[in-house]
Amino acid sequence: MNENIPLLSIRNLSTHFFVEEGVVKAVEDVSFDVAEGKTLAVVGESGCGKSVTALSVMGLVPESAGRVVDGQILFRGDDLLKKTESQMRRIRGNEIAMIFQEPMTSLNPVFTIGNQIVEAVKLHQGIKGEHAWSHAVEMLRKVGIADPARRVREYPHQMSGGMRQRVMIAMALCCWPSLLIADEPTTALDVTIQAQILELLRELQKQQNMSVMMITHDLGVAAENADDVAVVYASNIVETASVAAIFEEPLHPYTQGLLRSMPRLGQKMERLESIGGSVPNPLHFPQGCKFHPRCPIGVSDQRCRTQQPQLREVAPGRCAACFHAKGYGD
């Protein structure tokens, strides 16, 4: 595989929803790459468009409400947006798999978990009958479920939340995908379980040599698991960089704000800072830089209020979308 082509490369992606009150621009002109075998964390507040980006990659944006209006999603150099539905079906669950936030509702309550895993194996791997079931048992063992031969015949409601998320992971990985999209995989779980699941994901990623696009609102999760970070604010990417760089020196005021609102070891603080104001309504984004009403610099800057900064390379390997970022130029 050519080193220079990233596994997944999203270029100028825009996904809009058409509702009664107007057009919701859930994803606007978003570009980023996920490198082979690496983990990219997409970080942002809830409702900023992270999940819609993921659904756009999967081709699962609900047809009745929204669609991808512009851009390219290059997977191994092929544009996924140009594929037919049946071509996409061969990719979904096979080469690109996805796990979701709510393990409680993401599994079908009326089928055994074995049935649900086997379904994917049969579909993509062409393994039949007993072999598919033993593969399912094997996958369950791999994700750390005790007594998998018995568990495989149980229903989701007989399992705890953490176990269900393990089942989801087993289901996603059963066809050895090269890209895993994890949409807030640990948000709905207890803290101790969260750590176990993330640990498991890291381990499996190494074993199967896959890339992960991890969507999270938690910079801590990103710091521990990701190689690169893309920060999303109000449907736009505001900053991309390697994990080390972003924690070392965040360039965008929003990233800076996020970092300041994170508790840190060894630092004594009276209370955590938070970013003032709230996420803008996607129906009525502010003029200019979308962050300017909440930004300590932008709120008084004429240019920030009228012009929208484009994402631009500010240093080797990192980009930012802020007029005041170091290296942004004029």
Partner 1 sequence: MPAYIIRRLLYMIPIVFGVLLLTFLLFNVVGADQAVYRLAGNNPTPEILDDIRHELGYDKPLIFSIDSQFVTHVKKAVTFNFGKALDKEPIIDKLKNGVPYSLALTVPMFFGIVVTSVSLAILAAFYRGTWFDRIILLICVAGMSFPYLSYIIFGQYFIAYKYDLFQIYFSPQRSIWSNAALPILIGIVVGIGGNVRFYRTVMLDEINSGYIRTAFAKGLSTRVVLFKHLLKNAMIPIITNTVLTLPYLCLGSLLLESFFGIPGIGGITLDAIESRDFSVISTMTFIFSILFVIFNLISDVCYAFADPRISFD
Can you give the binding site for partner 1, defined by CB under 8 A?
58, 60, 64-65, 86, 88-94, 97-98, 100, 102, 104-111, 119-120, 123-124, 155, 157, 168, 171
Nearer to partner 1, 45 or 154 (CB): 154
Nearer to partner 1, 91 or 320 (CB): 91
Q: Supply the minimum distance, in Å, between the C-beta of residue 180 and partner 1.
A: 11
Contacts of residue 147, defined as CB under 8 A and 6 or more positions apart, other chains included, come to: none
Helix H, strand E, coil C: the string for the chain is CCCCCCCEEEEEEEEEEEECCEEEEEEEEEEEEECCCCEEEEECCCCCCHHHHHHHHHCCCCCCCEEEEEEEEEECCEEHHHCCHHHHHHHECCCEEEECCCHHHHCCCCCCHHHHHHHHHHHHHCCCHHHHHHHHHHHHHHCCCCCHHHHCCCCHHHCCHHHHHHHHHHHHHCCCCCEEEEECCCCCCCHHHHHHHHHHHHHHHHHHCCEEEEEECCHHHHHHHCCEEEEEECCEEEEEEEHHHHHHCCCCHHHHHHHHCCCCCCCCCCCCCCCCCCCCCCCCCCCCCCCHHHCCCHHHCHHHHHCCCCCEEEECCEEECCCCCCCCCC
| Structure tokens, 179 | 């890209």
Q: Supply the minimum distance, in Å, between the C-beta of residue 14 and partner 1.
A: 21
Nearer to partner 1, 157 or 312 (CB): 157
Nearer to partner 1, 64 or 267 (CB): 64
Nearer to partner 1, 156 or 298 (CB): 156
Q: How far is CA 250 from CA 48, 258, 321, in A?
A: 19, 10, 12
Nearer to partner 1, 113 or 295 (CB): 113
Q: Supply the minimum distance, in Å, between the C-beta of residue 258 and partner 1.
A: 28
Q: Supply the minimum distance, in Å, between the C-beta of residue 164 and partner 1.
A: 11
Residues pairing with 236 in the sheet: 233
Nearer to partner 1, 112 or 208 (CB): 112
Nearer to partner 1, 58 or 320 (CB): 58
Q: Supply the minimum distance, in Å, between the C-beta of residue 85 and partner 1.
A: 8
Q: Supply the minimum distance, in Å, between the C-beta of residue 11 and partner 1.
A: 23
Q: Supply the minimum distance, in Å, between the C-beta of residue 140 and partner 1.
A: 16
Q: Are 261 and 217 in contact (CB under 8 A)?
A: no
Q: Are 241 and 317 in contact (CB under 8 A)?
A: yes
Nearer to partner 1, 92 or 135 (CB): 92
